[in-house]
Amino acid sequence: MKINRTLESLRILLVECNEWVRDSLSFAFERTGCDIIAVDSVGKAVKAIRKEQFDIIVCDFNLPEYSGLDFFKLKDTFEKTCMKILISTEVTKNMINESKAGGVHEVIEKPFEFKKILQAIKAGIKL
């Protein structure tokens, strides 16, 4: 999947229930010039998606209501061109395979440096 955009023009939805991680990633994305909306639940994420269009969704696997993978499997919720990145502390080969089969473009294991997410994004878009 390739999106012809600049990093500064990307609209990103971050779904992360851990406030510290959510705030840290939001700050890092804002510093790159990305337009970011950060929410702490699947319910809020679905509401945001119904109101706005996003180029990239970064979602934690361990969320209170659903897993991030279950969230990404919701049919008719996402634009076909939307890049999906799953982040988790518990990455296994099975999770990676199931994620890829479910339309996830990248699975990133926590803890990670922010540049790892940027590399995944740059690999999925044409800058």
Q: Where are the domains of the chain?
A: 3-126
At residue 5, the pLDDT reads: 60
Quick: pLDDT tens for 42-94.
999 999 999 999 999 999 999 988 899 999 888 666 666 789 999 999 899 99
Does the domain formed by 3-126 have CATH 3.40.50.2300? yes
At residue 2, the pLDDT reads: 47
Peptide bond into 64 cis (omega under 30): no
Residues 6+ apart with CB under 8 A from 101: none
At residue 78, the pLDDT reads: 67
Query: Phi and psi for 5 in degrees, rounded to 5?
Result: -145, 165
Tokens found for residue 99: 């994620």
Q: At 84, is the secondary structure helix, strand, or coil? A: strand
Q: At 85, is the secondary structure helix, strand, or coil? A: strand
The model carries a pTM of 0.90
At residue 75, the pLDDT reads: 61
